[in-house]
Amino acid sequence: MGHGRFLGKLDVRKRTVEGAGKLAGAEFRLARVIRRLDAWRGATVLEVELEGCSDRSRALNYDAITGQVDAGDRVLLNTTAVSLGLGTGGLHFVLAVQGRERRERAAAGHIMKLRYTPLQLQCLTIEEEAHPARAALTAACGLEGMVVVVGCVHSQLAPIVAGMRAGPRPRPRVAYVMTDGGALPLAFSRTVAELCERGWLAATITAGHAFGGDYEAVNLYTALLCARAVVGAELAVVVMGPGVVGTGTAYGFTAVEQGEIVDRVNVLGGNPVAALRVSFGDSRPRHRGVSHHCLTALGRVALTRAVIAVPTLEAEQSSRVWAQLEEAQVTARHRLIEAPGEPALDLLVREGLEVTTMGRGLREDPAFFQAAGAAGLVAAQLSADKEGGMDHGSARVPGNALHGAGGRGDVAVREENGARGG
C-alpha cells in the first residue's frame, strides 16, 4: 500500500475502533520570549508570554533543534502537557522560531530519529559507514564481560555513578546509555549535563529514538557495543531519561524494559547488575519497599540471570525488601548481593551534587538513593575483581569493608547458601 493511499484514508479525529485508544492530539500556541532564565548543556529555559494573555510561563528550547533563542523572538510552543497539568516540570517546549524556519542541515548522516513525525531528526549514527568509529564497532565481538548497571528510573543515575566512584577505582571510565523509555532528548536531563561537566561520565550514547548523546545508536545492542569498543568504558549504566511512564497496571509501565535490558546485556557477553527501585518515602503502596516495576521486570520479564544489588537498610526495611524479592521469585532467578549505599551518598554530599526523585531528596527518601548507590558499588567491585559471572546463591557486602583510607576499599563478598530470608 502506498503512503499516499494510506494517509488519504486516515483521519484520527473521526477514526474510532472498538477497544482501541484515541489520539487526542496536541496544543500549540504562539508566544514572545521575554528573557533567558537558565541554561545547561544543549538546553535553554526561557520566560515567555503567551499571545492573547498577559500570563508568563517557562518554556524549554533544545538548542540543537531550534537554535539559539533570544529575547523578543516569536516562537511556536507545544503547550499540551502544561495545559493537562502533567509532570513535565511545568514547561512548554519550543517547536520553531519565527524567521528561522530554515536551518542548515548536518552534512553527514542518513538515519532519522523520531521517524515519520513532524520533528524527525537527521542523525549520524555509530552504525553508518560515514561514522569514523564504525570500524571499531564492527570489529567488536561482544562486551567481553563488561559490567553494566541496569536501572529503571532516571533519578538512579547519579547515585549509581557515585557508587561506582566510591569503589576500588576512584575514577572509573563510565559510559551512560540512555534508552527511549522516558524523555527522548538527552538535553532534558540536567543530571547528565552536570555529570559530564564533572567528568563522571566518559561519554553518553542515545539508543533507539533517544537523541543528543555523544554517540547515536539505532538500538541498544550497538549502543552497548559502542560503550565497550568505541568509548573504552570500564563500566556502563543503562537507564531511560527522565519521565518513566506508569499506569498502575501489572505490565503498563516503561520500566518493564529493565528485564529486557538484562537479557540484551547477557546476549552480548556482558554482566548485568540490576539496580532496585526502593522507597519508604513514596506514599503509593505499589512503590513502597521494592517498586512493583522492579519486581515485575526482574521476577517475570527477565529471561536470563543478573546480579541484584540489595541495599543494606535498617532491620524492618530490610526484612520487607527481602520478603518482597522472595515473593516475586527474584531471589530464585538471580544472584543477590547486599551492599551499603552510604559510600555513594557520602560522595554525593561531599561533591555538592544534589539529587531528587519525585521531588524527594536524600533526607526524605534515603533508601531510594542507597539502593542505587549499592548497585554502583557492587558493579565497581565486580569489575575490579573480574568476578561478574552469574554464580549461584546470594552474598552480602559488609559495610565495614568500605571504610578504610578515604572511605574506599575492596568489597568483601561473603557467599551464602541460597537466598537470604526476610
How far is 204 from 61, CA to CA, in rounded Å? 20
Cell of 6: 494510506
How far is 322 from 276, CA to CA, in rounded Å? 12
Judging by beta carbons within 10 Å of its beta carbon (0-12, 13-18, 19+), is residue 260 exposed, middle or buried?
middle
Give the pLDDT of residue 105: 66
Q: With CA atoms as reference, report the closest residue to 343 among 383, 385, 387, 398.
A: 398
Give the pLDDT of residue 397: 53
Task: Flag residues of the chain having pLDDT under 50.
Answer: 1-21, 387-393, 398-422
Give the pLDDT of residue 362: 83
Contacts of 90 (CB under 8 A, 6+ apart): 57, 58, 82
DSSP strands (E only) in 74-129: 74-78, 91-97, 111-113, 121-123
Q: Quick count: other Cβ atoms within 10 Å of Cβ 245?
A: 12
Domains within the chain, CATH numbers bracketed:
28-97 (2.40.50.220), 134-416 (3.40.50)
Backbone phi and psi for residue 247, each to the nearest 5 degrees, phi listed first: -130, 0
Give the pLDDT of residue 386: 66
- Residues 174-190: pLDDT tens digits? 999 999 999 999 999 99
Cell of 26: 496536541
Judging by beta carbons within 10 Å of its beta carbon (0-12, 13-18, 19+), is residue 325 exposed, middle or buried?
buried
Give the pLDDT of residue 394: 53
- Residues 186-230: pLDDT tens digits? 999 999 999 999 999 999 999 999 999 999 999 999 999 999 999
How far is 228 from 233, CA to CA, in rounded Å? 5
Give the pLDDT of residue 414: 32
pTM of the model: 0.87
Give the pLDDT of residue 48: 97
308 touches 290 (CB < 8 A): no
Give the pLDDT of residue 251: 86
How far is 276 from 52, CA to CA, in rounded Å? 47
Q: Residue 136 is inside which H or E element, if any?
A: helix 134-139
Give the pLDDT of residue 250: 84
